[in-house]
Amino acid sequence: MDSAHAHRRLDTAAHRRLDVDNPLRFDVVTLFPDFFTSPLAASLTGRALKRQIASVHLTNPRDFTTDKHHKVDDIPYGGGVGMVMKPEPIFAAIESLPQLPRREVVLLTPQGQTMDQPLFKELATQYDQLVLICGHYEGVDERVLNVVTREVSLGDFVLTGGEIPALALINGVIRLRPGTVGKADSLKYESFETDLLDYPQYTRPTQFRDWAVPEVLRSGDHGAIAQWRHQQQIERTQSRRPDLFERWQARAKTGPSQHRPSPHSAPQSLPHPSSHSPLDP
Ligand SMILES: C[S@@+](CC[C@H](N)C(=O)[O-])C[C@H]1O[C@@H](n2cnc3c(N)ncnc32)[C@H](O)[C@@H]1O
Protein backbone atom coordinates (compact mmCIF):
# COMPACT_ATOMS: atom_id res chain seq x y z
CA MET A 1 0.00 0.00 0.00
CA ASP A 2 1.18 3.49 -0.81
CA SER A 3 2.28 4.93 2.51
CA ALA A 4 0.63 8.25 1.62
CA HIS A 5 -2.68 6.45 2.09
CA ALA A 6 -1.63 4.92 5.35
CA HIS A 7 -1.73 8.20 7.24
CA ARG A 8 -4.95 9.81 8.19
CA ARG A 9 -5.11 13.29 9.44
CA LEU A 10 -7.91 13.59 11.93
CA ASP A 11 -8.72 17.24 11.54
CA THR A 12 -9.71 17.27 7.92
CA ALA A 13 -12.38 19.96 8.25
CA ALA A 14 -11.60 23.42 6.94
CA HIS A 15 -9.39 25.07 9.53
CA ARG A 16 -9.47 28.54 10.82
CA ARG A 17 -5.85 29.63 10.98
CA LEU A 18 -4.77 30.89 14.37
CA ASP A 19 -1.56 32.68 15.00
CA VAL A 20 -0.12 29.71 16.81
CA ASP A 21 3.63 29.65 16.21
CA ASN A 22 4.31 26.03 16.73
CA PRO A 23 1.46 23.57 16.45
CA LEU A 24 2.29 20.35 18.24
CA ARG A 25 2.14 17.30 16.00
CA PHE A 26 0.93 13.96 17.37
CA ASP A 27 1.53 10.81 15.34
CA VAL A 28 -0.42 7.89 16.75
CA VAL A 29 0.67 4.45 15.63
CA THR A 30 -2.38 2.29 16.22
CA LEU A 31 -4.12 -0.80 14.88
CA PHE A 32 -7.43 0.91 15.64
CA PRO A 33 -7.41 4.42 14.15
CA ASP A 34 -11.22 4.65 14.34
CA PHE A 35 -10.93 4.60 18.10
CA PHE A 36 -9.70 8.21 18.02
CA THR A 37 -12.20 9.88 15.74
CA SER A 38 -15.01 10.71 18.11
CA PRO A 39 -13.09 11.50 21.34
CA LEU A 40 -10.76 13.89 19.56
CA ALA A 41 -13.52 15.66 17.68
CA ALA A 42 -15.35 16.59 20.87
CA SER A 43 -15.12 19.55 23.19
CA LEU A 44 -11.99 21.66 23.74
CA THR A 45 -9.69 19.11 22.10
CA GLY A 46 -11.77 19.13 18.92
CA ARG A 47 -11.72 22.89 18.85
CA ALA A 48 -7.97 23.02 19.45
CA LEU A 49 -7.40 20.64 16.53
CA LYS A 50 -9.64 22.70 14.27
CA ARG A 51 -7.72 25.81 15.24
CA GLN A 52 -4.43 24.05 14.51
CA ILE A 53 -3.09 24.41 18.03
CA ALA A 54 -2.11 20.79 17.50
CA SER A 55 -2.66 18.10 14.88
CA VAL A 56 -3.21 14.37 15.23
CA HIS A 57 -2.15 11.95 12.50
CA LEU A 58 -3.13 8.30 12.66
CA THR A 59 -0.91 5.61 11.21
CA ASN A 60 -1.86 1.95 11.13
CA PRO A 61 1.04 -0.55 11.23
CA ARG A 62 -1.21 -3.01 9.41
CA ASP A 63 -0.90 -0.80 6.33
CA PHE A 64 2.84 -1.50 6.35
CA THR A 65 2.66 -5.27 6.35
CA THR A 66 4.00 -7.00 3.27
CA ASP A 67 2.41 -10.44 3.61
CA LYS A 68 -0.87 -11.50 2.10
CA HIS A 69 -2.73 -11.65 5.44
CA HIS A 70 -1.47 -8.30 6.76
CA LYS A 71 -0.20 -9.98 9.89
CA VAL A 72 0.78 -7.65 12.73
CA ASP A 73 1.21 -10.18 15.55
CA ASP A 74 2.82 -13.55 16.12
CA ILE A 75 3.35 -16.14 18.85
CA PRO A 76 5.95 -15.39 21.55
CA TYR A 77 9.40 -16.97 21.40
CA GLY A 78 9.84 -19.25 24.39
CA GLY A 79 6.14 -20.09 24.51
CA GLY A 80 3.41 -18.66 26.67
CA VAL A 81 -0.04 -17.27 26.20
CA GLY A 82 -1.16 -14.58 23.78
CA MET A 83 0.38 -12.89 20.80
CA VAL A 84 3.08 -10.26 20.44
CA MET A 85 3.06 -7.30 18.03
CA LYS A 86 5.68 -7.83 15.33
CA PRO A 87 8.45 -5.24 15.05
CA GLU A 88 8.60 -4.77 11.25
CA PRO A 89 5.21 -3.06 10.70
CA ILE A 90 5.78 -0.77 13.70
CA PHE A 91 9.26 0.26 12.48
CA ALA A 92 7.97 0.76 8.94
CA ALA A 93 5.08 2.89 10.22
CA ILE A 94 7.39 5.07 12.32
CA GLU A 95 9.99 5.40 9.56
CA SER A 96 7.29 6.64 7.19
CA LEU A 97 6.57 9.64 9.41
CA PRO A 98 8.02 13.09 8.94
CA GLN A 99 10.58 13.93 11.59
CA LEU A 100 10.32 17.27 13.37
CA PRO A 101 13.34 18.64 15.25
CA ARG A 102 12.19 18.00 18.81
CA ARG A 103 10.58 14.60 18.68
CA GLU A 104 9.71 12.11 21.41
CA VAL A 105 8.71 8.55 20.57
CA VAL A 106 6.44 7.33 23.35
CA LEU A 107 5.44 3.73 23.94
CA LEU A 108 2.24 3.42 25.95
CA THR A 109 2.88 0.59 28.39
CA PRO A 110 1.91 -0.27 31.97
CA GLN A 111 5.66 -0.59 32.61
CA GLY A 112 6.41 3.08 31.91
CA GLN A 113 6.54 6.26 33.97
CA THR A 114 3.07 7.13 35.25
CA MET A 115 1.35 10.06 33.57
CA ASP A 116 1.10 13.16 35.71
CA GLN A 117 0.80 16.90 35.30
CA PRO A 118 4.58 17.65 35.24
CA LEU A 119 4.99 15.08 32.44
CA PHE A 120 2.15 16.67 30.44
CA LYS A 121 3.71 20.08 30.96
CA GLU A 122 7.05 18.85 29.69
CA LEU A 123 5.48 17.20 26.64
CA ALA A 124 3.37 20.30 25.92
CA THR A 125 6.32 22.68 26.02
CA GLN A 126 9.49 20.83 25.00
CA TYR A 127 8.47 19.02 21.82
CA ASP A 128 7.29 19.65 18.27
CA GLN A 129 6.21 16.08 17.65
CA LEU A 130 4.99 13.25 19.86
CA VAL A 131 4.85 9.81 18.29
CA LEU A 132 2.60 7.55 20.36
CA ILE A 133 2.84 3.79 19.89
CA CYS A 134 -0.22 1.86 21.06
CA GLY A 135 0.44 -1.77 21.94
CA HIS A 136 -2.05 -4.64 21.90
CA TYR A 137 -2.20 -8.33 22.78
CA GLU A 138 0.72 -9.17 25.11
CA GLY A 139 2.49 -6.01 24.01
CA VAL A 140 5.13 -5.14 21.40
CA ASP A 141 8.28 -7.07 20.49
CA GLU A 142 11.03 -5.86 22.84
CA ARG A 143 13.13 -4.63 19.89
CA VAL A 144 10.62 -1.82 19.32
CA LEU A 145 12.22 -0.19 22.37
CA ASN A 146 15.20 0.69 20.16
CA VAL A 147 13.14 3.43 18.56
CA VAL A 148 11.33 4.48 21.74
CA THR A 149 12.59 7.45 23.74
CA ARG A 150 10.09 7.25 26.59
CA GLU A 151 7.73 4.67 28.08
CA VAL A 152 4.54 6.04 29.62
CA SER A 153 1.79 4.39 31.65
CA LEU A 154 -1.72 5.54 32.44
CA GLY A 155 -1.56 3.88 35.86
CA ASP A 156 -0.98 0.65 37.71
CA PHE A 157 -3.53 -1.46 35.88
CA VAL A 158 -3.61 -3.31 32.57
CA LEU A 159 -5.85 -2.32 29.67
CA THR A 160 -6.31 -4.23 26.42
CA GLY A 161 -4.57 -1.60 24.30
CA GLY A 162 -2.64 1.68 24.33
CA GLU A 163 -5.43 3.73 22.72
CA ILE A 164 -7.11 4.95 25.91
CA PRO A 165 -3.74 5.91 27.50
CA ALA A 166 -2.79 7.69 24.23
CA LEU A 167 -6.07 9.61 24.26
CA ALA A 168 -5.53 10.61 27.89
CA LEU A 169 -2.05 11.88 27.04
CA ILE A 170 -3.23 13.78 23.94
CA ASN A 171 -6.08 15.36 25.87
CA GLY A 172 -3.93 16.38 28.85
CA VAL A 173 -1.13 17.76 26.68
CA ILE A 174 -3.30 19.67 24.19
CA ARG A 175 -5.14 21.22 27.11
CA LEU A 176 -1.89 22.87 28.22
CA ARG A 177 -1.08 24.37 24.82
CA PRO A 178 -1.70 28.10 24.67
CA GLY A 179 -5.11 28.87 23.18
CA THR A 180 -6.88 25.62 24.09
CA VAL A 181 -8.34 26.70 27.41
CA GLY A 182 -9.94 30.14 27.28
CA LYS A 183 -8.25 31.79 30.24
CA ALA A 184 -4.67 30.81 31.01
CA ASP A 185 -5.59 31.66 34.59
CA SER A 186 -8.06 28.81 34.77
CA LEU A 187 -5.14 26.37 34.45
CA LYS A 188 -3.11 28.05 37.14
CA TYR A 189 -4.76 26.99 40.37
CA GLU A 190 -6.03 23.57 39.38
CA SER A 191 -5.38 20.32 41.18
CA PHE A 192 -1.68 19.37 40.94
CA GLU A 193 -0.56 22.85 39.87
CA THR A 194 0.27 23.86 43.42
CA ASP A 195 0.65 20.45 45.09
CA LEU A 196 -2.82 21.15 46.44
CA LEU A 197 -6.08 19.82 45.03
CA ASP A 198 -8.54 22.32 43.65
CA TYR A 199 -11.15 23.93 45.90
CA PRO A 200 -14.87 23.05 45.66
CA GLN A 201 -16.79 24.77 42.89
CA TYR A 202 -20.41 25.88 42.91
CA THR A 203 -22.69 27.46 40.36
CA ARG A 204 -26.34 28.44 40.33
CA PRO A 205 -28.85 27.77 41.82
CA THR A 206 -27.92 29.10 45.24
CA GLN A 207 -30.12 26.47 46.86
CA PHE A 208 -30.40 22.99 45.37
CA ARG A 209 -32.50 20.53 47.35
CA ASP A 210 -31.13 20.68 50.91
CA TRP A 211 -27.80 22.10 49.87
CA ALA A 212 -26.92 25.76 49.76
CA VAL A 213 -23.87 27.40 48.21
CA PRO A 214 -21.57 28.42 51.11
CA GLU A 215 -22.37 31.89 52.31
CA VAL A 216 -18.80 33.16 51.88
CA LEU A 217 -18.89 32.59 48.11
CA ARG A 218 -21.91 34.89 47.86
CA SER A 219 -20.45 37.55 50.12
CA GLY A 220 -18.56 39.53 47.48
CA ASP A 221 -15.61 39.69 49.92
CA HIS A 222 -12.78 38.60 47.61
CA GLY A 223 -10.26 38.30 50.41
CA ALA A 224 -12.55 36.06 52.45
CA ILE A 225 -13.37 33.98 49.37
CA ALA A 226 -9.69 33.46 48.53
CA GLN A 227 -8.97 32.51 52.13
CA TRP A 228 -11.88 30.05 52.28
CA ARG A 229 -10.84 28.44 48.99
CA HIS A 230 -7.25 28.09 50.11
CA GLN A 231 -8.35 26.52 53.40
CA GLN A 232 -10.58 24.08 51.46
CA GLN A 233 -7.63 23.17 49.24
CA ILE A 234 -5.53 22.37 52.28
CA GLU A 235 -8.23 20.33 54.02
CA ARG A 236 -9.23 18.24 51.05
CA THR A 237 -5.63 17.58 50.05
CA GLN A 238 -4.83 16.49 53.59
CA SER A 239 -7.77 14.08 53.72
CA ARG A 240 -7.74 12.78 50.13
CA ARG A 241 -4.09 12.89 49.16
CA PRO A 242 -1.80 12.82 52.21
CA ASP A 243 1.16 12.21 49.87
CA LEU A 244 0.57 15.51 48.05
CA PHE A 245 -0.13 17.27 51.31
CA GLU A 246 3.23 16.23 52.71
CA ARG A 247 4.97 17.50 49.59
CA TRP A 248 3.14 20.79 49.81
CA GLN A 249 4.08 21.18 53.48
CA ALA A 250 7.73 20.42 52.73
CA ARG A 251 7.78 23.01 49.95
CA ALA A 252 6.04 25.59 52.09
CA LYS A 253 8.75 25.09 54.73
CA THR A 254 11.73 25.31 52.41
CA GLY A 255 10.91 28.22 50.19
CA PRO A 256 8.56 30.97 49.21
CA SER A 257 5.31 29.36 48.12
CA GLN A 258 5.24 31.12 44.79
CA HIS A 259 2.86 28.51 43.39
CA ARG A 260 0.30 29.08 46.04
CA PRO A 261 -2.28 31.82 45.46
CA SER A 262 -2.13 34.38 48.22
CA PRO A 263 -5.03 34.02 50.63
CA HIS A 264 -5.75 37.68 50.04
CA SER A 265 -5.56 37.76 46.28
CA ALA A 266 -8.77 38.23 44.33
CA PRO A 267 -10.49 35.05 43.21
CA GLN A 268 -9.96 34.19 39.59
CA SER A 269 -13.17 32.59 38.55
CA LEU A 270 -16.81 32.91 39.54
CA PRO A 271 -17.78 36.56 39.48
CA HIS A 272 -19.62 38.25 42.29
CA PRO A 273 -23.33 37.79 41.71
CA SER A 274 -23.74 41.48 41.14
CA SER A 275 -21.23 41.52 38.26
CA HIS A 276 -22.13 40.29 34.81
CA SER A 277 -21.58 36.61 34.13
CA PRO A 278 -22.55 34.37 31.22
CA LEU A 279 -25.05 32.80 33.62
CA ASP A 280 -26.90 36.07 34.13
CA PRO A 281 -30.30 36.08 32.53
C1 LIG B 1 -2.62 -6.27 27.62
S2 LIG B 1 -1.47 -4.95 27.52
C3 LIG B 1 0.06 -5.80 27.64
C4 LIG B 1 0.54 -5.83 29.03
C5 LIG B 1 1.91 -6.48 29.16
N6 LIG B 1 1.83 -7.89 28.95
C7 LIG B 1 2.43 -6.23 30.55
O8 LIG B 1 2.03 -6.91 31.48
O9 LIG B 1 3.22 -5.26 30.72
C10 LIG B 1 -1.53 -4.50 25.81
C11 LIG B 1 -1.13 -3.07 25.53
O12 LIG B 1 -2.03 -2.20 26.16
C13 LIG B 1 -1.37 -1.00 26.49
N14 LIG B 1 -1.58 -0.76 27.93
C15 LIG B 1 -2.22 -1.56 28.79
N16 LIG B 1 -2.27 -1.03 30.01
C17 LIG B 1 -1.65 0.16 29.94
C18 LIG B 1 -1.37 1.18 30.89
N19 LIG B 1 -1.71 1.09 32.15
N20 LIG B 1 -0.70 2.27 30.45
C21 LIG B 1 -0.30 2.38 29.17
N22 LIG B 1 -0.55 1.44 28.23
C23 LIG B 1 -1.22 0.34 28.60
C24 LIG B 1 0.08 -1.16 26.13
O25 LIG B 1 0.31 -0.51 24.91
C26 LIG B 1 0.22 -2.67 26.01
O27 LIG B 1 1.23 -3.02 25.08
Residue % of the chain over a pLDDT of 70: 81
Q: What domains can be seen in the chain, in order of their start residue?
A: 3-176 (3.40.1280.10), 188-254 (1.10.1270.20)
The pLDDT tens digits for 133-158 are 999 999 999 999 999 999 999 999 99
- Atom of ligand 1 minimally distant from the CA of 155: 19
CA of 164 to the centre of ligand 1 (A): 10
Pocket test for ligand 1, best of 83, 108, 116, 141 (most atoms within 8 A of CB): 108
CA of 21 to the centre of ligand 1 (A): 35
Structure-model confidence comparison of residues 40 and 269, the more confident one = 40
Label residue 192 by pLDDT band (50, 70, 90): confident
CA distances from 264 to 192, 222, 254, 256 (A): 21, 7, 22, 16
Residue type, position 61, single letter:
P
In our burial notation (b when 16+ CB lie closer than 10 A, e otherwise), range 71-108 reads: ebbeeeeeeeeeebbbbbbbbbbbebbeeeeebbbbbb
Label residue 260 by pLDDT band (50, 70, 90): very low
CA-closest residue to ligand 1 atom 10: 136
- Atom of ligand 1 minimally distant from the CA of 157: 19
Model pTM score: 0.85
**What interhelical angle do 242-254 and 222-240 show, nearest 10?**
120
Q: Please give all residues whose beta carbon lies within 6 A of any atom in ligand 1, as ranges.
A: 108-111, 134-136, 138-140, 153-155, 157-162, 165
Instruction: Specify the pLDDT at position 3.
Output: 42
The pLDDT tens digits for 20-31 are 568 999 999 999
Which of 87-91, 131-135, 248-252 shows the lowest per-residue confidence on average (mean pLDDT)?
A: 248-252
CA of 152 to the centre of ligand 1 (A): 10
Q: What is the mean pLDDT of residues 107-124?
A: 97
Instruction: Specify the pLDDT at position 276.
Output: 33
Q: Provide the 3-class DSSP secondary structure of residue 54.
A: strand
Instruction: Specify the pLDDT at position 254.
Output: 85
Instruction: Specify the pLDDT at position 184.
Output: 64
Average pLDDT over the chain reads 86
170 CB neighbour count, 10 Å cutoff: 23
Check: CB of residue 244 under 8 Å from CB of residue 193. Answer: no
Whether residue 255 is predicted with pLDDT greater than 80 in this model: the reply is no
